Structure 1
Amino acid sequence: MTEHSHGGWATAPVQTRSERFASTAHDEFPEVTGREAIWKFSPVDRLRGLIDGELDGSPYAVLYPEAAGTTVEWVDRSHELVGTAGTPEDRAAANAWTSFEKALHIRLDGEAETLTVTRTGLGDAPRAAHTLITAAAGATGLIVLDSQGDARLTENLEIVLEADANITVVSVQEWDDTALHLASQFARIGHGATLTHIIVSLGGSVVRVNPSAHLAEEGAEAELYGVYFADAGQHLEQQVYVHHDAPHTRSRVTYKGALNGEGAHTVWIGDVLIGRDATGTDTYEQNRNLVLSDGTRADSIPNLEIETGDIEGAGHASATGRFDDEQLFYLQARGIPEDEARRLVVLGFLSEIVQKIGEPVLEARLHEALEAELQAAR
């Protein structure tokens, strides 16, 4: 304890990202005021019912086709794998964990076929949910979690990759305009395993999806992508956390968004922690935002914490701005009208992320959704 020059005392050390308080019990978290670092950008008053209210945690209707190498079932909250990937770090996630009755378990074995799990029509009653995705050793596959319709939902998603698994998980938030959605998504990536994780947020009134990836064993890799389009009055938020906890791990984080209309607000916070044992780490994170009109706000905060000097590389970048005039000039010089040139620039900017999905039908649908957003922006 040493006295500062202003006469105060240092009562606590600066908190490293891995030491953030975590619990599955809602009541162990202090009440949310909106001044906390993890809540200060969020419209807390609009979310009180999900943070502190009573939640319906019963199973809900899901639609999915039969897909070789996959199984889908509801399991009890006491299932041995529940809690393997992570623990809630905020009061809303803990409320969901306290309230859910059964978890939706999606299992991948071998070379699994693409599986799309759709939920729609959850209604306007506050609800809790818990989803568990597990990939067996050496498993490969693509899982799409497709959310549509109306909802008042707070939930946790756990993703567990065993050794040498290589899977893609896509979380699509294409809710109705009035939906409220809070999600914490935790991934634990095993020895030599690779996770590609993609967030797509287009619909909803307030959508806050916070993914975290724990590179827990040697050779683990994570590629985290996100694409979002916020229009008037819409709040879209992502708080990303990558924890390099083992030697020779690699991560890439790329999130891109567009904003249009009065009151459109996006938030991206990227935390990367390279732990003491994570020698040979290679990591880079970036966030890019394209502003299409006045009256919008994009908060973008990259953070990098390094506890060992023996790394391959680490960096981060953030940029928010309007159209690239050179790109527009290039297209207009070739006879393309200004409105069409702007449309092409925005689609090209956002499509880079959509093309990472690798599922043509979904990619086409999302391209159409982005086209519709741009039409409405004119």
Structure 2
Amino acid sequence: MTAETLSHALEVEDVDSHLHPHRSFDVADHAVPTGREEIWRFTPLKRLRGLHDDAPLDGDGVGAEADAPAGVSIELIAPDSPLRGSSGFVPSDRIAARVWAEATRAWAVTIPAEAAPEEPVVVTLTGKDSESATASHLVVSAGAHSKATLVLRFVGSGTLADNVEYVVGDGAHLTVVSIDDWDDDAVHVGHRHAKVGRDATFRHIDVSFGGDLVRHDTTAEYAGPGGEVEMLGLYFADEGQHIEHRLFVDHNAPRTRSHVSYKGALQGEGAHTVWIGNVLIRKVAEGIETYEENRNLVLTDGCQADSVPNLEIETGEIEGAGHASATGRFDDEQLFYLRSRGIEEHEARRLVVHGFFNDLIRKVGVPSLEEQLTATVEAELAKNVLREGPA
């Protein structure tokens, strides 16, 4: 395949599918959702505080702080900066388009080519109030053959709509750990899009614990052959909480790989989680390999977990493609095994839940974060399941 042919093949065209709504930067091209649309049917629109309609997005209720190792730059950028859109991101829903048009603050994190900082880049967004909605835009560029970790942390009380773009250069290795640890009244609707270069690796770890409503759309495409995408997720929904993750990997280049694995737990009346996984394998994407999976553990009565994996395949010349989804309660055999060895029931249940999450937590790759996540799981368990016993 010539360079000219490959360049043409990698052009990303809209796909005629209910899973791929029309993309446009113009807010007017995106109708106000009614809840009957495929991409909105699981989301409680009344709890979005008008983010999907015309609520003002000029609030300053969410502040940002950053800590970067030497050599990594973090700067404010103008709304018309060419960095915006450099990932190929085009809004596919009204909220993303509104953020693109109305965000008053935009930042750029730049990791130089061949840089390999030992410490992660840490960006913390702290909500100060949830009365006014804030919009923000972040562009992360990882230069060719660089290797770095970025931690995005969301805390406090706020109403936030944000777009985040990742541009991963050829041969680069970028790991992103995004942690939603909001207060109970927060609303966060986020869109993340990555463009992964030739022979580059992009790892995205999405952790959602806090907030009243959290909805994330995470998408990835490739800028050349040999790229690899790994999307991992960990979430824990409590009483009345809505957590929604929508994933899309666009295999628009040959010999690319992707692996999506999300795990969630639910406890308390009205806890609701949604996971929508979608992989598109285009005609040009010969020799690719992909797999997506979602596992949910229901800890108490009154919870609902919706899980919908999708595969769209336009060529049969691939190495492999598959998906899996499962939702269930505690494994009675595991509990029986542990209790038969003298372990009290509440301790046995705690061990089962930790075992459910630990394989993902160990993949974070930042020891201090792994310890924090393990402690957070423990705190979530203490709220309900360890106190009340089995569902």
Distance 1:333 1:60, change over 3 A: closer
Q: Which residue of 2 aligns with 1:111?
A: 116
- Contact 2:21–2:93 under 8 Å retained in 1: no
CA contact 1:69–1:111 (8 Å) conserved in 2: no
Unpaired runs of at least 5, structure 1: 1-13
Aligned to 2:236: 229
CA separation of 1:69 and 1:328: change in aligned 2, threshold 3 A: farther
Measure how far apart 1:183 and its partner are: 0.4
Task: Indicate conservation of the 8 Å contact 1:17/1:273, yes or no.
Answer: no
Structure 1 position 100 matched with structure 2 position 107: no
- Measure how far apart 1:60 and its partner are: 5.9
| CA distance in 2: counterparts of 1:360 and 1:30, whole angstroms | 44
Residue 169 and residue 301 in structure 1: after superposition, are their counterparts in 2 closer, same or farther (change >3 A)?
A: same
Asked if residue 330 in structure 1 is aligned to residue 337 in structure 2, the reply is yes
Counterpart residue identity of residue 256, structure 2: T
1:164-313 aligned at under 5 Å gives the runs: 164-313=171-320
Match of 2:5 in 1: none
SS at match of 1:27: helix
- Residue 149 of structure 2 aligns to a residue whose secondary structure is strand
Between the aligned partners of 2:19 and 2:345, the Cα distance in structure 1 is: 48
Q: Deviations over 1:278-325 (max 9, x none)?
A: 000100000000000110000000000100110000000000000111
The match for 1:76 is: 78
Is contact 1:138–1:163 with CA below 8 Å preserved after alignment? Answer: yes
| Identical aligned residues as a percent | 49
Cα shift at 1:235: 0.1
**Which deviations, in whole Å up to 9, do the C-alpha atoms of 1:223-276 show, x marking residues without a partner?**
000000000000000000001010100000000000000000000000000011
Per-residue Cα deviation, 1:113-135 (whole angstroms, up to 9, x for no partner): 31111121342211111111110
What residue number does 1:49 align with? 50
Of 89, 93, 99, the residue aligned with 2:92 is: 89
178-187 vs 77-86, which moves further: 77-86
Equivalent residues of 1:197, 1:225 under 8 A apart: yes
- Name whichever of 89-98 and 188-197 sits farther off: 89-98
Distance 1:247 1:127, change over 3 A: same
Instruction: Report if aligned partners of 2:62, 2:127 keep a CA contact under 8 Å in 1.
Output: no
1:349 counterpart SS class: helix
**Alignment check: 8 A CA contact 1:57 1:129 kept:** no
Q: Is the 2:62–2:129 contact (alpha carbons within 8 Å) kept by the matching residues of 1?
A: no
CA distance in 2, matches of 1:62, 1:54: 19
Q: Which moved more, 1:349-358 or 1:274-283?
A: 349-358
Q: Is the 8 A contact 2:32 2:52 kept in 1?
A: no
SS in 2 for 1:196: strand
- Tell me the distance in 1 between the aligned counterparts of 2:108 and 2:61: 12
Counterpart of 2:348 in 1: which secondary structure?
helix
Name the CA shift for 1:217/1:17 in 2 (closer, same or farther; >3 Å): farther
The 1-side partners of 2:338 and 2:77 are apart by 54
C-alpha separation in 2, matches of 1:118 and 1:140: 21
Give the deviation of 1:169 after TM superposition: 0.6
TM-score normalised to structure 1 length: 0.93
Aligned to 2:10: none
Alpha-carbon spacing, 1:211–1:205, altered in 2? closer, same or farther (3 Å): same
| Structure 2 CA distance for aligned equivalents of residues 19 and 375 of structure 1 | 40
Cα distance, 1:194 vs. partner? Answer: 0.3
Which deviates further from its counterpart, 54-63 or 99-108?
54-63
Q: Quote the residue 2:8 is aligned against.
A: none
- Determine the C-alpha separation between the residues in 2 that align with 1:236 and 1:47: 12
Say if 1:337 and 1:128 are closer, same or farther in 2 by CA, change over 3 A.
Answer: same
Tell me which residue corresponds to 2:36.
35
Aligned length: 365
- Structure 1 residue 58: Cα displacement: 6.6
Q: Which amino acid aligns with 1:148?
A: V
Report the Cα distance in structure 2 between the residues aligned to 1:74 and 1:331, rounded to whole angstroms. Answer: 54
Task: Show CA shifts across 1:14-57 (max 9, x none).
Answer: 93378531112222211210111000000101114211211117
Q: Which deviations, in whole Å up to 9, do the C-alpha atoms of 1:346-369 show, x marking residues without a partner?
A: 111112222211111122112111
> By how many angstroms is 1:215 displaced?
2.3
1:24 and 2:21 are equivalent in the alignment: no
What is the match of residue 9 of structure 2?
none
Structure 2 residue matching 1:20: 3-state secondary structure: coil
Counterpart residue number, 2:373: 366
Q: Classify 1:57/1:81 alpha carbon distance in 2 versus 1 (closer, same or farther; 3 Å).
A: farther
Residues 221, 57 of structure 1: CA spacing in aligned structure 2 closer, same or farther, 3 A cutoff? farther
Stretches of structure 2 that go unaligned for 5 or more consecutive residues are 1-14
How many angstroms apart in 1 are the aligned matches of 2:39 and 2:68?
A: 39
Asked if structure 2 preserves the Cα contact closer than 8 Å seen for 1:57 and 1:100, the reply is no
Q: Cα distance, 1:149 vs. partner?
A: 0.1
Give the partner amino acid of 1:81. L
